Amino acid sequence: MEKAKNSLLYLDGVSVSFDGFKALRSLSMVIEPGEMRAIIGPNGAGKTTMMDVITGKTKPDEGDVYFAGNTDLTRMDEASIASLGIGRKFQKPTVFESHTVWDNIDLALAGVRKPFATLFHRTTKREIDRIDEILATIRLGDKRNWLAANLSHGQKQWLEIGMLLAQEPQLLLVDEPVAGMTDAETVQTAILLKEIAKTKSVIVVEHDMSFVRDLDVKVTVLHQGSVLSEGTLDAVSADPTVIEVYLGR
């Protein structure tokens, strides 16, 4: 697809209806390779539906969705899209509570090993180094032997981000990562996502504006299923149409 050529993710004119209700209305958005983007918007704006379309959970009624230039995501199922290198982190953490932090990452690495290899697998030196690297990124190096059950809510969210990283995605979709976190954890999460975004593209959906400010990236405001405004947080916050949507009712 010519127009999508240099982008990592390209959405054009994407519409989704549920029983006649338009959750997405001709949504268009482009994410560049190596970009982190924050998505904001009031409840029901279509943020979750947009993630569902990218990951193949929901098929659009109309529109184009291309990954890495020319891969048409609308023709692929969820598993194939995941294996292309699109990882998604849902709002609630789903770590293996009765396993250690280390084993959670090791199991996530195992998930990308071939089934036969997994059966007879001993973690290689290279994998051990990669697990150490991930633990450093997610700030859990000193808790490697803790059971995941004993981590705080915020630490569980970081562990799950680490499990996603083990799958070496090119694009990470992160849904409301700081909901329920302490202020200190929220600040740390912005720092660690910025670190991750040095090597991967990241889309973060979040309602917490102080966190979005800390991310310091381009912001897309969704409203009624399409893009209302796009730019720096300061620019979109000063946009009268955005003020109207957030304050005008």
Ligand X SMILES: Nc1ncnc2c1ncn2[C@@H]1O[C@H](COP(=O)(O)OP(=O)(O)OP(=O)(O)O)[C@@H](O)[C@H]1O
Q: Tell me whether residue 21 or residue 120 sits nearer to ligand X (CB atom).
A: 21
Residue 128 CB neighbours (<10 A)? 13
> Using the rule CB under 6 A, is 49 a contact of ligand X?
yes
- Region binding ligand X by CB under 6 A among candidate stretches 1-9, 44-52, 62-70, 147-155: 44-52
In this chain, which of 47, 88, 143, 200 binds ligand X, going by CB under 6 A? 47
Residue 1 CB neighbours (<10 A)? 14
Beta pairing class for 62-67 and 71-72: antiparallel
Cα–Cα distance for residue pair 59/15, rounded to 1 Å: 9
> Using the rule CB under 6 A, is 23 a contact of ligand X?
yes
> Using the rule CB under 6 A, is 41 a contact of ligand X?
yes
- Region binding ligand X by CB under 6 A among candidate stretches 26-34, 36-44, 115-123, 141-149: 36-44
**DSSP-assigned beta bridge partners for residue 88:** 173
Q: Provide the CB-side half-sphere exposure for 44 (13 A, CA).
A: 6
Q: Tell me whether residue 9 or residue 54 sits nearer to ligand X (CB atom).
A: 54
> Using the rule CB under 6 A, is 98 a contact of ligand X?
no
Cα–Cα distance for residue pair 106/166, rounded to 1 Å: 8
Q: Tell me whether residue 20 or residue 240 sits nearer to ligand X (CB atom).
A: 20
Q: Tell me whether residue 36 or residue 221 sits nearer to ligand X (CB atom).
A: 221
> Using the rule CB under 6 A, is 169 a contact of ligand X?
no
Q: Tell me whether residue 26 or residue 167 sits nearer to ligand X (CB atom).
A: 26
The distance of closest approach from Cβ of residue 54 to ligand X in the complex, given in angstroms and rounded to an integer, is 12
The distance of closest approach from Cβ of residue 202 to ligand X in the complex, given in angstroms and rounded to an integer, is 17
> Using the rule CB under 6 A, is 48 a contact of ligand X?
yes
> Using the rule CB under 6 A, is 178 a contact of ligand X?
no
> Using the rule CB under 6 A, is 45 a contact of ligand X?
yes
> Using the rule CB under 6 A, is 44 a contact of ligand X?
yes
> Using the rule CB under 6 A, is 135 a contact of ligand X?
no
The distance of closest approach from Cβ of residue 130 to ligand X in the complex, given in angstroms and rounded to an integer, is 33
Number of residues binding to ligand X, judged by CB under 6 A: 11
The distance of closest approach from Cβ of residue 53 to ligand X in the complex, given in angstroms and rounded to an integer, is 10
> Using the rule CB under 6 A, is 90 a contact of ligand X?
no
Interface contacts to ligand X, rule CB under 6 A: 18, 21, 23, 41, 43-49
